[in-house]
Each structure stands twice: as C-alpha cells, then as structure tokens.
Amino acid sequence: MQHIAILASGGGSNAQKIIEHFSGHSSIKVVIIISNKKNSGVLTISKKHNIPSHIIDSKVQLSSVEFIALLEKNQIDLIVLAGFLLKIPEELIHQYPNKIINIHPSLLPKFGGKGMYGLHVHNAVIKGKEKQSGITIHYVNNKYDEGGIIFQEACILSKEETPETLQKKVLVLEHKNYAKVIERLLSR
Ligand code: GRF
C-alpha cells in the first residue's frame, strides 16, 4: 500500500474527491488528514470517512521532530496539499523531496505567489483581462507556487465571467484531475 497524507485548511472539497477516489483502491490509501484549522470542513470530512486527523497550529510544527515522526509512523509516500495555507518549511521539503504536491487555481507561473489564493487569484485573472485560466498541479519547493509543474488544464473565460463563476469553473477542473494525477504519480 502507498500512503497519502492530505494537508488542508479549508472546506476540503478536493480532499473529499481524493478520499472518494481512493476508497477501496487496491494499492493507494489516504491514511491521515492534517489541518491547521480546528473548525475546518476537512475535519468533518475526515470523520465521516473514518480517516484519522491531526491538528497543528503553526508552520513551526511542520518541521518539528514530532511532526516528521508522525509522517514516518504513517509511512507516508506522498504529501498532498489541498487548500493548505501555511508555507511548507524547507526541512520538510528536504525530508520529502518531490513527494509534496500542491494544486493551484491558475495557470502558473501566472497568478501565483504569496497572497494569491482563493478569490484573489480569480480577481487578478479577470482584472488582467486573461482569455483563459485553469489549474496547475505542481511539486512544492521553498518558493510559493514555483515548484516543477506536473499537470495543467485550461478553461476559457466567458465575456460575463466574474471571480465567483471562474472559481466554480476552476474547481470543476480540480475535482476532475487531482486524484487522477496523484494516482498516476504513485503508479510510476
Ligand atoms: C482550491 O481552489 C485549490 O486550488 C487551492 O485551495 C482551494 C481548496 O479548495 N489550493 P477546497 O478546500 O478543496 O474546496
């Protein structure tokens, strides 16, 4: 079995899709959900699916001996960020080289970097009069949204597009692709 840890801060719709995709899978399993927000929707999802969860309250904890030990105890092969807002410290990146991935709601390198999350991204895309946007799944390195790109899919903006409608359009692409890309990475 290959083991996935999902790190998420928010509602967890991507986490839910990933959990559903791998439920009953013969060789890949989501074994732990880690969140930095006590009341995040993703914790409700982990309970519903009987997946153990763990709460951290700062970035510092991500590089602590205890946290690395928790990942090791769970024999984690891939760390999947799904709407996780804390920066991943270098120590953790060194411990898990090319084993931490993220999904970003734009076509990187455009509209990435610090502060570019949620509606901020889609606002900027519309202000920039872009004709298309999309998703990027990428490795995590020590700079926000700059790790190697694994997968991208684009969508076309309509004339009436608003940040909210674009967010929904992009989320559909995320749900369609994230689990499949994870499966491909772990099946190599
Ligand atoms: C997604 O838009 C993802 O691209 C970004 O954070 C959002 C998480 O959404 N990194 P959800 O919590 O999975 O619904």
Q: Which of 86, 121, 168, 174 to mutate to test the pocket of ligand 1 (most atoms within 8 A of CB)?
A: 174
The pLDDT > 70 percentage for the chain reads 100
Nearest alpha carbon to residue 173 among 144, 146, 133, 118: 133
Residues with CB under 6 A from ligand 1: 8, 10-15, 82-83, 103-105, 171, 174
Q: Is the pLDDT of residue 114 over 90?
A: no
Of ligand 1's atoms, which has the minimum distance to the CA of residue 16?
Answer: 13
Instruction: Kindly report, residue by residue over 24-51, the tens digit of the pLDDT.
Output: 999 999 999 999 999 999 999 999 999 9
Instruction: Kindly report, residue by residue over 59-73, the tens digit of the pLDDT.
Output: 778 989 999 999 999
Q: What is the mean pLDDT of the chain?
A: 95
pTM of the entire predicted model: 0.96
The residue annotated as part of the active site, out of 54, 104, 120, 175, is 104
> Residue range 171-178: average pLDDT?
98
| pLDDT on residue 148 | 96
Contacts of 70 (CB under 8 A, 6+ apart): 32, 54
Instruction: Kindly report, residue by residue over 124-169, the tens digit of the pLDDT.
Output: 999 999 999 999 999 999 888 889 999 999 999 999 999 999 999 9
Nearest alpha carbon to residue 182 among 18, 14, 12, 8: 18
